[in-house]
Structure 1
């Protein structure tokens, strides 16, 4: 690996020392650059950074020197075991990867402003969505089935018939097979996006079948509490401290419920998340989800070309052609909106125009364009989707379901019908909302969260509430 990294390191060192001369109308001078973090999955990072590539070894953590026997029951980060330049150098001199977890000194350590012990970027996609999340969900489902609270047939029926809406329809989970539950340590046979969708919406699917206070269900809800902070794009200092306590509580409950099992390395990596967030900010920005999505292009090219004599050259050539097209067409960094088919009409002819707040002062005879959908900054919106419009002074989210989309004066406005938020129901891990008659027009760039959501009903016939499940919590 160091032989591969050597030419890259030489180029980065030149950028650190000499930089690049840039002359534009806005700036003229030398710009120097360096490496802050290296991102990747756990195996890839351990390989690049020179750590042990076996996760059954005695020392598997990039952040600390905890022994395998310790991390299997560890619920709180131990600051005294964290790796730093001093103990890293002493461990490297021992040349004993079995005990230290360090196989070799990484070539990246030759850089001026970088050291592998400062590389704290985790990969929450593989740690949670393809690790702890799927593993614990199978354990909890097995426990609920053993308690005769649900059956696998019931679960799959609700999973396939659930109303996912526009926003989650593309990530609809696959049916769960009996052999998948028999081996909790095996793969869940879902993509990361499908797993995330299933984890978020499972309480709404089967929550009415599980009695409140069930300890196995509490473990699952505890994991969701951790996830809504881990996946959040904005966190406060207090929320980071709270996350540490949530992770500790979750790990302790896991060990109590499953005394015959131990915490996995991915459980241990979660202990270091609060420290990583303090150093880097929200760690969801460092996950491998976008890298994995990029692989889709190369998979399609290899399938279409059917030429494996020099597949690397073919892939590189096709990728360069695609990037040239993307850059020259101006699509890559465009923040303009794209509108779908629709019609031009007068603002006053829109249904319930007189009840809509936000159009005050605009003449009713103003011409507007009403599209069937709009794509703004990469996200598609259409009538029927629900948006997190704003937050109340006490922090409660305010939701609105899109009734119409209006384009006027090169601005996109959505006409939403507001919901009244009555509170957060932890058993279903969703906000309870009631419909109102209030209608307002909102600028698409002023909403608090750009992710579209969906309003669902409980399967319980005696429950008339509407629920909205968030992808993460905003602070």
Structure 2
């Protein structure tokens, strides 16, 4: 409820805040009161008239661009109709940007082709504004495209009576999330998700839901359902973009996947208007060629830093001069970490370690150690270890090697530490790729010996978490597995 301007001013003027803060709030309230009086006197129509006239000109006539010598109409229809690969969206070049700046300065203009001024970073010898800013696929995908398409497709799947929103939420709540999936487990989906056109959730929750949704509900979706195909393609695109290594072949595959996904999305939902982030996504293959894997540039670590401040706000229960509270708590935290022997965590941390002689090990383990290290006298075995920030524990799966074009997997039995170097004792498994689930079904190899592999031998450094579905052991990857 909005109070009258007079009571608003009176309350602020006689508050107990410091005089400078009170004066600032008084000024804001005064403007607020004036605005309310103007609305009452003239109405919204008169106040918004200048803005509406400008918008009508943009809608009906467009904007004349002097350099092009023609009028350009702003429309989002272009990204709905044309793909980036069609070449109808010419990219800015360094030369064209310099020319825009010359025109801007020469004629004292407000902007030229959207350019208002030079970027201060262009003072650097090896930086160019047009080529120097990689995208953030965390916000483009996990907080943009993914929650939007999940909402769109889940609504469609519910309309086909495969499940209800209550049944889906029950499945999500009862799913046996493991390891970091348990930390990042998605929340139940709001019943108003369809009207909001988004499932909500943060980056980690949306990633976990997209990755594990096939294991949750894939068995009740028909094989040929195209709506389901949209989510599976999106899952695969995310796996590709989250990868830390690319070849020209995987880049070409990514480009095809993005194009196929777009076509299927428009086929199944012809009335759906693509988001600008869908258009950004189509530029990703070329941007990866320019910058390298985009996972090296995403802002997820900044989000983690931001979480510290959110916790402080939540725990303090005090919003009076909250900026001072945040800065003080952050300084104290920083002082604590600076006082530690090392500001950074060590590259290797191990837990529950036992130093044993190979002769004391079970036969298959002893044989694996001897094959790897020869006649070593002592070996350290650990149940879990944190290596370069990634935690590995018994029971996880690792991908190593390949058979007939498919990656192989191994169950992590023990973590072996010899001369401060970590290796993994694994039990080999066969793998079959389940296209309908975009996941791998695993089966233990008969009469297979345990083997020890090193980190550089893995197809991907990220461990995989096993889930049992209908009696089958399944793993689904976070990243595209090169092998």
* Of 397, 402, 410, the match for 1:400: 410
Task: Work out the CA distance in 2 between the residues paired with 1:363 and 1:234.
Answer: 33
Task: Work out the CA distance in 1 between the residues paired with 2:114 and 2:146.
Answer: 26
1:179 positional shift: 0.9
Cα 1:110/1:309, change in 2 over 3 Å: farther
The match for 1:194 is 205
1:372 positional shift: 3.3
Tell me if structure 1 keeps the 8 A contact 2:82–2:88. no
Give the secondary structure class of the aligned counterpart of 2:217. Answer: helix
Cα 1:305/1:148, change in 2 over 3 Å: closer
Once the two structures are superposed, residues 214-262 of structure 1 have per-residue CA deviations (whole angstroms, 9 ceiling, x without a partner) of 1111111121222221111101112212222221121122122212221
Tell me if structure 1 keeps the 8 A contact 2:359–2:366. no
Structure 2: gaps (5+ residues): 1-57, 64-71
Which shifted more, 379-388 or 285-294?
Answer: 379-388
Structure 2 residue 470 is matched with structure 1 residue 470: no
Once the two structures are superposed, residues 326-374 of structure 1 have per-residue CA deviations (whole angstroms, 9 ceiling, x without a partner) of 4564545555421223444433333454675343386899444443322
Once the two structures are superposed, residues 172-195 of structure 1 have per-residue CA deviations (whole angstroms, 9 ceiling, x without a partner) of 1111121123321x4x23120111
The match for 1:68 is 76
Structure 2 residue 131 is matched with structure 1 residue 121: no
Tell me if structure 2 keeps the 8 A contact 1:120–1:276. no
* Of 241, 253, 264, the match for 1:242: 253
Cα 1:160/1:314, change in 2 over 3 Å: closer
Give the secondary structure class of the aligned counterpart of 1:392. Answer: strand
Task: Work out the CA distance in 1 between the residues paired with 2:361 and 2:274.
Answer: 58
Which shifted more, 137-146 or 221-230?
Answer: 221-230
Structure 2 matches for 1:78-93, cutoff 5 A?
78=87, 81-89=90-98, 91=100, 93=104
Tell me if structure 2 keeps the 8 A contact 1:173–1:197. yes
TM-score (norm 2): 0.75
1:131 positional shift: 0.7
The match for 1:429 is 438
Between structures 1 and 2, the one with greater helix share:
2
Across the aligned residues of Structure 1 and Structure 2, the Cα RMSD in angstroms comes to 3.1
Once the two structures are superposed, residues 380-423 of structure 1 have per-residue CA deviations (whole angstroms, 9 ceiling, x without a partner) of 222111112x222654222111222343443333322211123x
* Of 206, 210, 219, the match for 1:208: 219
Task: Work out the CA distance in 1 between the residues paired with 2:163 and 2:463.
Answer: 31
1 or 2 for the larger relative contact order (CA 8 Å, sep ≥6)?
1
The match for 1:180 is 193
Structure 2 matches for 1:218-257, cutoff 5 A?
218-257=229-268
Cα 1:399/1:279, change in 2 over 3 Å: same
The match for 2:293 is 282
Structure 2 residue 356 is matched with structure 1 residue 349: no
Task: Work out the CA distance in 1 between the residues paired with 2:456 and 2:346.
Answer: 11
* Of 151, 154, 159, the match for 2:167: 154
